[in-house]
Structure 1
Amino acid sequence: MTECNLLKKNDFYLARNCRECVNILPLQPNPIIQGSANSQICIIGQAPGLAAHNSSLAWNDASGDRLRTWLGMNKATFYDENIVAILPMGFCYPGKSSSGDLPPIKKCAEIWHQRLLSSFTPKITLLIGQYAQNYYLNDKLGVTNRVRNWQDYLPEYIVLPHPSPRNNIWLKKNSWFEESVLPEVKTIIQDNT
């Protein structure tokens, strides 16, 4: 293994063992990320939920099932780190609020994202939900307007709403998303895997 590849592998190892937020997390740190120097697609979402925390497997819930359906990807492909990198905005489960999970802890993206993203070159990056989109995009549009104009962010990004069951009302109000956006997104994903 070359020194450069060893350093890249070491970055993912260090991030998976991060304890920066041990004093503010509701549970012991369990950074849930995935990736390698060969990852073709990068998924940047919110933060792991409790099911993901308990299983140490990203997107291991109903949201993940829906996301894989949206992308036309089976679990074997999705969890292959040489195909898909998963770098949430917060690497650990942030805890519960009265209306769902708390927002991701900002330190993760600030400390790790640039470092990890410099260790591989994805063909496409998916920005899922408001936290990822607000961090990476320089616009004041909300998720709905970004997703409606999703092609404006290509070829670097694909913007998607969060696939949580909590967004069923949004999906029902915005049926154009599943009718016209998702078929094109699936094609792009299939072309890049």
Structure 2
Amino acid sequence: MNSSSTIHQLRETLIEWGRDNLRVYPWRETREPYHILLAEVLLHRTRADQVVPIYHRVLERYPTVHALAAAQLEDLADLLRSLGLHWRVPLLLEMAREVVSRFGGDIPASVEMLRTLPGIGLYIAAATSCFAFDRPEPILDTNTVRVLGRLFRLDVQESSRKSRKFRTIMAELLDRDRPRLFNLALLDLAALICTPAMPACHRCPLQSICLYGSQYATAK
């Protein structure tokens, strides 16, 4: 792994970039755990711009997890129909009912307890724990492991987002004092600059410490 000074530089540079460049979504404007968990479930395999109007409609109809737990399956399915992935509708309803029955309506803060809820995998649990409770949880998906792979010239496979090696690296890089901002900045760097095809290395704040970016600069 890189030196502590390089890790410090990466954290500070990424967070500074994030302060001015984070994308704006309604679930990022709140720390309400129910809203954030709902958003993360809706975002699964779905583009954020598709989720925004549905997120608002669901919260308007079911403003609390208690209200969602009391929903009729058919009504919830109608609200979510445009997103596809119909299998998530009963899981969302079952999840809300378990939050009410097991936790009194309080969304659990820990990844371990979140993962005991129906339909909640490691990514959704880590994202909810970090973004709602500011817990220092590494967030790995196809996009963030792509950034790691380029930064440190690592071989990235489809399975890398579930790899212990990548999780260990991400945990070491994570700014434990500002995990929410760090993770949001990393996600948005992947979406806006370190894209799958034709990454904008010339605009990347991490180019000077990125092995892939340094190669790009040398080639120019």
Same fold at TM > 0.5: no
* Greater gyration radius: 2
Higher helix share: 2
Higher strand share: 1
Q: TM-score, normalised by structure 2?
A: 0.27
